[in-house]
Amino acid sequence: MKKVLVANRGEIAVRIIRACQELGLQTVAIHSVADRESLHTKIADESVCVGPAASARSYLYMPSIMSAAEISGVDAIHPGYGFLAENAEFAEICEKSGICFIGPTPQQMHSLGNKIKARQLAIKADVPLLPGSEGVIKETKAVKLANEIGFPVIIKAAAGGGGRGMKIARNKEELKRLLPLAQKEALAGFGNADCFLEKYLEHPRHIEVQIIADAEGKIRHLGERDCSIQRRHQKLVEESPCPVLDRTLREKVGDLAVRLVKTNGYRSLGTVEFLFQDEQFYFMEMNVRAQVEHPVTEMVTGIDLIKEQIRIAQGHSLNLPETITPNGHAIECRINAEDPQSFTPWPGKVSAFHQPGGPGVRVDSMLYTGYTVPSQYDSLVAKLVTHGADRAESIARMRRALREMKIEGIRSNIDFHLKLMENVHFQKGNVSTRFLESF
């Protein structure tokens, strides 16, 4: 592997390019017309325009991306997260074209990227699940099944993520009304209208386990992340380790994640996600890619996950200890270009950008003074991460860093995060996925 095309944009493209450069690999950035002046195009060795602003005609348009790979002579593609990162068809095209896809095999993506198939694999691996449909739910059987498992239920899209296609139904009338809406949303977002039902938990925590595995069957879990601070099923704050797990529960959830991955013969970086309520873990899904929140794990383990992911794709075996113990505590705040009151996106030109520094502070971003945040994409513009000897120090550093961070010319949710860090209940770790409903 000598040259890598990064099939993504924004902060994750910048992150991947930097990791490749440290490994001595040449990089090719792709960009839409709207992203011509984005930071990732400036720091890569080469950049290629793949289409107009619309994602469907650029970052999701496989013919243009493969053409860019061909003309630039790359031998590998890193998909990042989102866009084509969990698209098995894209991984297959790369494979047939003789280009290394930095991620799992297409077959592994087929069995784990689809939530219904992942549930079936979890049953095989004896990993606990919430009651739900065994396959795609049909409107004619939805009410009967919901009555059997008990309302409330949650409708979920079989493909994709990010909260799209997710609806909560508390009675049969709501279920009949929301199922078609969820199917329509899933079709528009992922090109797949398949949905399934699952028992809805009222106040769970969202806990996920970072795993990494090589082609030789070596699997390591790198601890858990708590991602319970969410709005409309979208994560806003992540931390590691989870503040409410003791050693026994921590070992238990790690073992469950490894068991699932081992059943699939998985290879690459991945995240196994669980709901946690009343001292019980329930498997939700697996993300077969790098996560937005991977930096918190990097901060507490000292392991560069993107580099490790690339090395595995190069054929190297894992060279990590059997047991990896987190050092200290890390928190990540997702900084979005949005109105802090209505949370509506707020694109525009950045007239000034100052990122915080000091001990235990990390910023992953594509912002710079003079950059124009486009309106066509996700509003995430930076990830602010702090690390401390314990959770209290990590929160104190985050409060200081948020006050120091300045983004002018556009609006952002910095003040929202500052308010959250100063909340007594958050500081005590008393949260669930519904915490922000009463915040």
Angstrom distance (rounded) from CA 62 to CA 55: 11
Residue with tokens 């866009």: 83
CB neighbours (10 Å) of residue 97? 12
CB neighbours (10 Å) of residue 390? 11
Dig out the tokens for 103 from the structure: 């991620």
Amino acid at 264: N
Q: At what angle do helices 106-113 and 88-96 cross, to 10 degrees?
A: 180
Angstrom distance (rounded) from CA 99 to CA 76: 5
Angstrom distance (rounded) from CA 146 to CA 158: 17
Spatial CA neighbour of 415 closest among 346, 345, 340, 353:
340
CB neighbours (10 Å) of residue 405? 22
Give the CA-trace dihedral at 28, 96, 63, 61, to 10 degrees. Answer: -80
Spatial CA neighbour of 40 closest among 85, 19, 9:
9
For residue 5, the cross-strand partners are: 28, 77
CB neighbours (10 Å) of residue 358? 10
Spatial CA neighbour of 208 closest among 142, 155, 276:
276
Amino acid at 236: L
Angstrom distance (rounded) from CA 115 to CA 109: 11
Catalytic residues: 289
4-34 burial: b if 16+ Cβ within 10 Å, else e: bbbbbbbbbbbbbbbbbeeeebbbbbbbbeb
Angstrom distance (rounded) from CA 317 to CA 305: 14
Contact criterion met (CB below 8 Å) for 411 and 389: no
